Structure 1
Amino acid sequence: MSAPVPGPAPVAGWTPRLVALDIDGTLLRWIDGTGTSHEEITPAVHDAVRRAQEAGAHIVLASGRSPDGMTGVADMLGLATEEHPVWVVASNGAVVFRYPPMQVVHEQTFDARPAVAAVLAEHPNALVAVEERGVGYRVNRQFPDGELSGEMILAEVDRMVAEPVSRVIIRDPDATVDDFVALAGRLGLHGTDYIVGWTAWMDLAPVGVSKASGLAQVADDLGIDAADVLAIGDGRNDLEMLAWAGRGVAMGQAIEQVRSAADAVTATVDDDGAALEMSRYWPA
């Protein structure tokens, strides 16, 4: 991977009204060699987020995590109270909610059966998970430790996707990222959008749903234009968000596809790149 290129500075005098933040790999550091992250936020990132919020910017968490996997991060950041709940975009845009307490404002579902069947035809031993809100996930087999939040409830795949769902996770520990990228391109997965993660992990979602579509709903409710949004992320599931925002910034460790799609590249998550970018507008 080439060294981070900072890219153009923001337009002089521009200050974001909304800051959209990915979680894993942006706010939280990755655990080497895994698809999981350390559940702790560095003081530099914590302070930068708080400075932005105290200056009047809306902080919105936007992640592929389930809603229940995001509330703890909002708590760690001290983002919200019951008098002033925070907006959260979960499940790669399929679920938008306010917290605390959790109040789902929007959820988009789809019939996942054809896409799941197509993937399992080529990866019959893959792990499959569907969110069970407030509990954890229904799974066909246990996922590796730390990859899913909450309880794992064993279920048959056919029953898991018998009704419309907002998101399906398919994971094959015996495959590679390249295997899944090639698989998605080969199958086409008509009627379904998909995102391949850092490992052989595929998220299936309704067509047209992304972090950008979820954030657009939040921004519309707040009366904020996309041009006034700063978005920071590091994964393939951040591509639409980085393109939609007035300023999209990729983390330094992001793959080239993500870095190329961004307006600028900050430092890596290990070097508090998100804090570095936010400090442009709200210095310590």
Structure 2
Amino acid sequence: MVRPLADDWSPRVVALDIDGTLLKWVDGPSDDYETISEPVYDAVHRALDAGAHIVLSSGRSPHGMTTIADLLHLPREGSDRLWVVASNGAVVFRYPPMEVVHEETFDAAPAVAAVLEHHPEALVAVEERGVGGYRVNRVFPEGELSGEQLITDVSDIVGEPVSRVIIRDPHATADDFIELAARLGLHGTDYVVGWTAWLDLSPVGVSKASGLQHVCDAIGGLGAADVLAIGDGRNDIEMLRWAGRGVAMGQSVDEVKAAADDVTATVHDEGAAVELTRWFPAR
């Protein structure tokens, strides 16, 4: 259902997903994958010119997000540090320099064991926060994780509380993981299934929406009603429902579109720029 907005409404916070929203998906790793198009770059800076707060909001680890901030030249020289919501809301940090201001952790061991019982060949990863790499049980396919991958026993990977666990089975499908998560219940955790057989396990109640709420509280005087959120993945559903205006990218799956107030063009047709231009037109 589309929520009505006041006639004079304008976003005071713009929450932007990265992969599939700011960045165009490509088949396989590519040197030019992390490229911000001119229309998206210009639209983001028009929002800044109008006084809006830009918040990057992604399932990526913190170290996988700072390069995107740099590509967008955020923050501007002389401006306050950027707010960033990482790891699907489990980590909130300021940049630069990177300063984690909020982090949620949980005991992931039972959920990981339950998933591996059904997918014993699955890959497991936890970010080594502060280092930028990952502890993994086996190496992930090239281009899927940023930073060094340190081979570690699963018992040690989830031997202490973590903010997020990635489980990946290159031989399964997203539907396989959706069915498995529903069957297991994954008690004590929340989960998000990506475009492929990629499962993110996070603390209960933690999502991009909860991370953005933390940002709004910290800025002061702002709330969900002030936020324009744009995203394309299942991990964006809570954010799109929470924001005053949630917009799904044109290539999103139906359940993501259903959670949004509106659907913009696809990432290949500069959908993020199309939506931002609605509120921050070029002069």
Same-fold call, TM cutoff 0.5: yes
Task: Report the residue type matching 1:87 in the other structure.
Answer: W
Asked if 1:163 is matched to 2:160, the reply is: yes
How many percent of aligned residue pairs carry the same amino acid? Answer: 69
Alignment partner, residue 21 of structure 1: 16
Alignment partner, residue 4 of structure 1: none
Please report how far the alpha carbon of residue 14 of structure 1 lies from its aligned counterpart in structure 2 after TM superposition.
Answer: 1.2
Alignment partner, residue 229 of structure 2: 231
Cα RMSD, aligned residues only:
1.8
* Aligned counterparts, 1:104-143, within 5 A: 104-133=100-129, 134-143=131-140
4+ runs deviating over 6 angstroms: none
Alignment partner, residue 3 of structure 1: none
* Cα 1:10–1:270 shift into 2, 3 Å: farther
Alignment partner, residue 88 of structure 2: 92
Does structure 2 retain, via aligned residues, the 8 Å contact 1:170–1:202?
yes
* Aligned counterparts, 1:100-249, within 5 A: 100-133=96-129, 134-223=131-220, 224-249=222-247
What's the TM-score, normalizing by structure 1?
A: 0.94
Please report how far the alpha carbon of residue 8 of structure 1 lies from its aligned counterpart in structure 2 after TM superposition.
Answer: 8.4
Q: Equivalents in 1 of 2:199, 2:67: separation in Å?
A: 24
Q: Equivalents in 2 of 1:37, 1:126: separation in Å?
A: 29
Structure 1, unpaired ranges of 5+: 1-6
Asked if 1:12 is matched to 2:29, the reply is: no
Task: Report the residue type matching 2:230 in the other structure.
Answer: I
Deviations 1:181-206 (A, max 9, x none): 00000000000000000000000000
What's the TM-score, normalizing by structure 2?
A: 0.95
2:48 alignment partner, one of 46, 49, 53: 53
Task: Report the residue type matching 1:18 in the other structure.
Answer: V
Q: Equivalents in 1 of 2:4, 2:74: separation in Å?
A: 27
Task: Report the residue type matching 1:124 in the other structure.
Answer: P
Does structure 2 retain, via aligned residues, the 8 Å contact 1:231–1:241?
yes
After the TM superposition, which of the residue ranges 36-45 and 231-240 deviates more from structure 2? 36-45
Does structure 1 retain, via aligned residues, the 8 Å contact 2:125–2:167?
yes
Does structure 1 retain, via aligned residues, the 8 Å contact 2:3–2:245?
no
Q: Equivalents in 1 of 2:180, 2:157: separation in Å?
A: 22
Please report how far the alpha carbon of residue 225 of structure 1 lies from its aligned counterpart in structure 2 after TM superposition.
Answer: 1.6
Task: Report the residue type matching 2:179 in the other structure.
Answer: A
Deviations 1:28-86 (A, max 9, x none): 0001378x992101000000001101211000000000000000000000111575210
Structure 2, unpaired ranges of 5+: none
2:35 alignment partner, one of 37, 40, 50: 40
Please report how far the alpha carbon of residue 13 of structure 1 lies from its aligned counterpart in structure 2 after TM superposition.
Answer: 2.1
Name the SS for the 2:218 alignment partner: helix
Task: Report the residue type matching 2:167 in the other structure.
Answer: I
Does structure 1 retain, via aligned residues, the 8 Å contact 2:28–2:143?
no
Q: Equivalents in 2 of 1:246, 1:120: separation in Å?
A: 39
Tell me how many residue pairs correspond in the alignment: 278
Name the SS for the 2:97 alignment partner: coil
Does structure 2 retain, via aligned residues, the 8 Å contact 1:88–1:96?
yes
Q: Equivalents in 1 of 2:27, 2:6: separation in Å?
A: 36
